[in-house]
Chain A
Amino acid sequence: DTAVSQTPKYLVTQMGNDKSIKCEQNLGHDTMYWYKQDSKKFLKIMFSYNNKELIINETVPNRFSPKSPDKAHLNLHINSLELGDSAVYFCASSHSGDSNYGYTFGSGTRLTVV
Chain B
Amino acid sequence: DAGITQSPRHKVTETGTPVTLRCHQTENHRYMYWYRQDPGHGLRLIHYSYGVKDTDKGEVSDGYSVSRSKTEDFLLTLESATSSQTSVYFCAISAWDRAGGANVLTFGAGSRLTVL
Is this pair of chains taken from one and the same complex?
A: no
